[in-house]
Chain A
């Protein structure tokens, strides 16, 4: 376990990425990169249950093609085994790449905007195997889509989002389809609405939920292999100019999961580091 933690830390430090960026750490949010902005995110996402702890490095990369279109890639690696159900909110072993399009962007006042973002991506099996019942499946690529809408302001944030992932079949096996949703509320107290050359803090309450369908193995649906869970917890985001660090923890509100297959998941946690590289490029006359 120590070795796995060290490995995870190495990847945390050396990995490149973008995912949580400077929004909530568990939930879906609308922000996308600026034009020509590179973003690098890396972190650790953990799930602890009765059958062990699973750690994933949430490493990603993003590039803003236009102010409202970002290409992104997400390359997680996992350590430990929890024999836990499929989750798309908590990254597992699949690599993914896709695009996020902020199709609605309405600026309502100083520091306030309402926006909606849709994402579509390809999910492919990474080099690592899952543990538990998912680990025995032949894996095939899948398609993931998300839709999120909400409000950002100097004082408050509110985002509602949902996602769906469907995997293809491989040798009569198929990973379960996953329906994910999230609601997040964020608040920045008046005393922390400071200049951009000081640390910027805000807190979130993050509610996330997922329903994963049944696992199909050798053409047979495994009984009781679907799962539905609902999680709630706080997270804190701290930003200084173009560097952000955030962390959060969630506990279960609702679980409809076969404990004989997946055990009993108790806690989820995440730490994420972001580096945002903005472009100074401007047109000439």
Chain B
């Protein structure tokens, strides 16, 4: 029993180390000046696991690169925007997680966080059924969510098995 528990923890920790947000490109509305961008930069850098942050004031795009093995959750990125008085729109993400559910209704669990998304396709052609139960990398878009909330749907462009 002890061995089983140890194995379980080992498997879980391995999974956590390989399941995370890798890139988040968040569109932010309302930033007009340099201090606005600086405030966003400081807030994003305060999230554990964030490696680099780039803010483009003219497009409103906040590009966040994360370190491998991070456990940052999507609500933290949204909160970093909200606490500075701005509004987050769609977010393009590249995220690793475990694919569950069925081919018709797949879900992605971002291990190491409580983030759980229903996956809907932006385009056809991905063999979801063959990836169920596996760790995958999803490239997709999280639609805008109300303040204090995170979208429960991730619209994917591609889903590939994680290496």
Does B associate with A?
A: yes
Taking beta carbons and an 8 Å cutoff, which residues of A are in contact with B? 22, 32, 34-37, 67-68, 102, 105, 107-113, 152-154, 157, 193-196, 198-200, 202, 239-242, 244, 276, 278-285
For A68, A112, A282, the residue with the greatest tally of chain B CB atoms inside 10 Å of its CB is: A282
Interface pairs (9), CB distance under 8 Å: A22-B35, A34-B85, A108-B29, A110-B28, A193-B57, A196-B57, A241-B35, A278-B84, A283-B79
Interchain CA distance A159-B104 in the complex, whole Å: 52
B95-129: CB near A (< 8 Å → 1, else 0) gives 00000000000000000011000000000000000
For B41, B42, B85, the residue with the greatest tally of chain A CB atoms inside 10 Å of its CB is: B85
Enumerate the 7 nearest inter-chain pairs by beta-carbon distance, A residue then B residue, closest first: A280-B46, A196-B37, A110-B60, A200-B34, A35-B83, A67-B85, A107-B30
With a cutoff of 8 Å between Cβ atoms, the chain B residues found around residue A67 in the complex are: 82-85
Q: Given A154-B57, A193-B58, A196-B41, decide whether A282 and B84 contact each other with a Cβ distance below 8 A.
A: no
Q: Is the interface of A mostly helix, strand, loop or mixed?
A: loop
The tally of CB-CB contacts under 8 A between chains A and B is 114
What is the minimal beta-carbon distance from B149 to any residue of chain A, in angstroms?
Answer: 14
Q: Please name the residue on chain A nearest to B50 by beta carbon.
A: A282
> Does B47 count as interface, using CB distance less than 8 angstroms?
yes
Q: Which residues in window 53-78 of B have CB below 8 A to A?
A: 55-60, 71, 73, 75-76
Q: Given A154-B58, A195-B57, A279-B43, decide whether A113 and B30 contact each other with a Cβ distance below 8 A.
A: yes
Taking beta carbons and an 8 Å cutoff, which residues of B are in contact with A? 27-39, 41-43, 45-48, 55-60, 71, 73, 75-76, 79-80, 82-87, 113-114
Interchain CA distance A282-B28 in the complex, whole Å: 17
Interchain CA distance A116-B84 in the complex, whole Å: 16
**B113→A285 contact, CB < 8 A:** yes
What is the minimal beta-carbon distance from A211 to any residue of chain B, in angstroms?
Answer: 32
What is the minimal beta-carbon distance from B132 to any residue of chain A, in angstroms?
Answer: 26
**A282→B59 contact, CB < 8 A:** no
With a cutoff of 8 Å between Cβ atoms, the chain B residues found around residue A200 in the complex are: 33-34
With a cutoff of 8 Å between Cβ atoms, the chain B residues found around residue A110 in the complex are: 27-29, 31, 58-60
Q: Which of B33, B41, B71, B113 contacts A239 (CB 8 A)?
A: B33
What is the minimal beta-carbon distance from B145 to any residue of chain A, in angstroms?
Answer: 14
With a cutoff of 8 Å between Cβ atoms, the chain A residues found around residue B41 in the complex are: 196
